[in-house]
Amino acid sequence: MTLRFRLAALYSVLFVATSMAVLVAVNVLFAYGVVYQSTTKSAVVDFGPDGTPIIERHAVTTGPVISIITLVVGVVLIGVSIWAGWWLSGRTLRPLGRITATARRLSLTNLDERIALKGPKDELKELADTFDAMLDRLERAVTAQSRFVANASHELRTPLAIQRAAIQIGLADPTPERIERFRAELLEANRRTERLIDGLLVLARSDHGLDEVEAVRFDRVAAEVVAGFPRVTLRSRPTTVMGDPVLLTQLVTNLVENGVRHNVPDGSVEVRLTPDDGLVVSNTGPEVPADRIPELFEPFRRMAPDRTRSADGSGLGLSIVASIARAHAMTVMARPNPGGGLMVRCRLPGPAGRSHFREAVGAGLAVDDQ
């Protein structure tokens, strides 16, 4: 039963009850509450044959007069009607006060608090459930942001620690050989920091969304990227998408680099691109458990412990892919290949540009079970 129906029923009952009370009060008024004041006037109008005077009498009514009881009953009825309307509306709208009080108490330290409104499935219940769902999303976003900041700080500390150690040790005994060796270590640490910062900038740009879009020949973008990887094969058909060409190039580059970097010796990487299937990148790398796939699309999350300190990547590759795909209304789907490796598919949006995102672990990510 909806809130609108309940309010209509309550106010109708109140109006009918008030009207009935008024009718009863009017009947009581005319039956018992009116005092009629009458006076009798007499006058001699003529004399009879025998000289007897003829007196004519008639009554004059001066009422009615409303008694004090009637006034008291009217005032009581008005007061009862006002109180009943105030009480009924307050009882009906009490959940709004609960929602408002919860919203005022919320802060970053107690985002786990929920309204959890009980009652009939009406508009107020739907509003409270929607507010709770928003708090769930906000709590997940804040948690992810805190984890991202902590991971980013940890990742940035590693090259800085390497640089500091190289400077301290190298300058302790500055022989030409030691200087050359520590110089190479410093340059590698600097390159790692640069790659990490570049990845963070791309991630921030893609998370911001697209300010301007244009028609991009996605197949040509894929061909240009694959041309830089000799052992990667490409099969494509003419495909045009609306988006940012720089971000789309970064998306293809990250997928191909991820397939090449995390592959077995003499393994293969295949790239397919069609308007129907979208962009598909598959490799023959190590086995990947299906339940671990969503973790790979989170920032700084790597598959194996030995990849945690890998100098070849920043741990942002697939998270950047998911962010760029989300900005272009694509759906990122991933599944392990039989015998090892990973297949990642970026399904293109429909002709109208409508997003095909599905509810899954990680924004814009779905694990393909096919």
Average the pLDDT over 70-78 and give the result.
65
| Interaxial angle between packed helices 176-208 and 245-261, expressed in degrees from 0 to 180 and rounded to the nearest 10 | 130
Question: Model confidence over 267-313: pLDDT tens digits?
Answer: 899 999 999 989 999 999 888 888 888 888 877 766 655 443 444 55
237 secondary structure, DSSP code? -
Average the pLDDT over 331-336 and give the result.
91
Q: What is the pLDDT of residue 179?
A: 79
What is the value of pTM for the model shown? Answer: 0.57
Average the pLDDT over 355-360 and give the result.
35
Residue 43 has pLDDT above 50, yes or no: yes
Provide the edge-to-edge strand list for the sheet that holds 342-347: 232-236, 269-274, 278-283, 342-347, 331-336, 365-367
Q: Which residues, other chains included, contact 333 with Cβ-Cβ below 8 Å and sequence gap of 6+? A: 344, 345, 346, 347, 365, 366, 367, 368
Q: Which residues, other chains included, contact 53 with Cβ-Cβ below 8 Å and sequence gap of 6+? A: 44, 46, 47
If pLDDT is split at 50, 70 and 90, which confidence band does 159 have? Answer: confident
Question: Model confidence over 232-263: pLDDT tens digits?
Answer: 999 999 999 998 888 899 899 989 988 998 88
Using alpha carbons only, give the angle 242, 271, 224 rounded to the nearest 5 degrees: 60
If pLDDT is split at 50, 70 and 90, which confidence band does 58 have? Answer: low
Average the pLDDT over 47-60 and give the result.
62
Question: Model confidence over 80-131: pLDDT tens digits?
Answer: 767 776 777 777 777 877 888 887 887 767 778 888 888 778 777 888 888 8
Q: How does DSSP assign 88-114, residue by residue?
A: HHHHHTHHHHHHHHHHHH--TT-TT--
Nearest to 132 by CA among 172, 102, 159, 156: 102
Average the pLDDT over 19-34 and give the result.
66
Nearest to 279 by CA among 328, 352, 211: 328
Q: What is the pLDDT of residue 310?
A: 47
Pick the most confident of 37-46, 83-92, 111-120, 336-345: 336-345
Placement of tokens 């290949």 in the chain: 337
Q: What is the pLDDT of residue 31?
A: 63
Q: What is the pLDDT of residue 47?
A: 62
What does the alpha-carbon distance between residue 181 and residue 65 come to, in Å, rounded to a whole number? Answer: 116
What does the alpha-carbon distance between residue 193 and residue 311 come to, in Å, rounded to a whole number? Answer: 10
Average the pLDDT over 191-201 and give the result.
75
Least confident interval from 215-224, 253-262, 310-319: 310-319
Q: What is the pLDDT of residue 122?
A: 79
Residue 276, classed as helix, strand or coil, is coil
The dihedral through the CA atoms of 281, 285, 288, 293 has a sign that is: negative
Q: What is the pLDDT of residue 83?
A: 73
If pLDDT is split at 50, 70 and 90, which confidence band does 222 have? Answer: very high
